[in-house]
Amino acid sequence: MRRRPLLILVAVVLALVAYPLAGMVGGVLPANREWVAPAQGITLYVESNGIHTGIIMPKLAAGVDWRPYFPARDLRDPRFAAYDHVSVGWGEHEFYLETPTWADLRPGVVVAAAIGSNRTLVHVDHLPAPSPTGEARRLVVTPAQYRRLAAFIQASLVPGGAHYPGYFGNDAFYEARGRYDAIHTCNAWVGEALRFAGVRVGRWTPFPATVMWWFPRHD
C-alpha cells in the first residue's frame, strides 16, 4: 500500500513528460503533404495570442458570407462589425471566458478543461485585414478549400445557440459543438479545420506552436 502513492506520482510525471513530447511529434508529422498554396486565391491568416490560435477570414469570399452568423448586434460596440474580416477560434467554455491572456491563467480552469468538457464556444473577433508583416501568418487557399474550411466552422456552431459578450467591443462568443479535452484542444481544432480544408499542417496540433510553425512570417 505504501508503494501506491509513489506509483501514482511516477505515472503523473511520465504523463506530464509524454504529453508535450507527443504533441510536438504530432505537430511535425504533416497531413495533406502534397498541398501547395495557389498563386491566386482567398487570403487567410493564422494567428496566436500565446494560448489560443485562430483563423482570420474575409467576411465575404467564394460565396461564403459570415455576416448572418456573426451579426453586429452581438457586439458590445456594433460599429466594429464594419470591419471586413473575422477571426474565429474554438475552445472550452470556462477556459475561454476566464482566460483571455496568460496573466489570467488559473490552474483549476486548466485542469478542468484538460479532463474534459462538453461545453464549448466559438470565439469571433471582427477586425480589418492584418498587416502582411504582423504576427498573423498569411495563408492562401483555393475557393473550394475556403468553402470546405467554412463548412467545418459552420458545423462547429450550434444553430440558434447562446452567445456571450467578448473581451472587448469587437468580439463575441457563440455556443459550439464538440468536446474539449487535453487531446482535442482549441489549437487541435484549428489544425483539424485546416486539415479538413486540405491545407498542409500537423496531424495533431495541441499547442499554439504546433499550429504556427507551419505558417512562416513574411516580413
pLDDT digits (tens, 9 = 90+) for 146-185: 999 999 999 999 999 999 999 999 999 999 999 999 899 9
What pLDDT is attached to residue 167? Answer: 92
Share of the chain above pLDDT 90, in %: 69
Q: Are 53 and 47 in contact (CB under 8 A)?
A: yes
Q: Distance of CA 43 to CAs 46, 61, 173, 177, Å?
A: 10, 9, 24, 26
pLDDT interval class at 105 (50, 70, 90):
low
Q: For residues 147 and 208, give the distance between their C-alpha atoms in angstroms, rounded to a whole number.
A: 24
Whether residue 19 has pLDDT greater than 90: no
What would the grid cell of residue 38 be?
495557389
Whether residue 15 has pLDDT greater than 90: no
Q: For residues 16 and 58, give the distance between their C-alpha atoms in angstroms, rounded to a whole number.
A: 39
Q: CA 91, 92, 97: angle at the middle one, nearest 5?
A: 95
Q: For residues 82 and 86, give the distance between their C-alpha atoms in angstroms, rounded to a whole number.
A: 11
pTM of the shown model: 0.89
Strand order in the sheet with 120-127: 137-141, 42-48, 53-58, 85-92, 120-127, 171-176, 163-165
pLDDT interval class at 96 (50, 70, 90):
confident
Give the residue, 162 or 6, on which the prediction is more confident.
162
Nearest to 91 by CA among 112, 116, 118, 122: 122
Looking at residue 29, the DSSP 8-state letter turns out to be S
Q: For residues 185 and 23, give the distance between their C-alpha atoms in angstroms, rounded to a whole number.
A: 11
Q: CA 79, 80, 84: angle at the middle one, nearest 5?
A: 120
For the segment 54-93, what is each residue's pLDDT rounded down to a tens digit? Answer: 999 999 999 999 999 999 999 999 999 999 999 999 999 9
Share of the chain above pLDDT 70, in %: 83
Whether residue 101 has pLDDT greater than 70: no
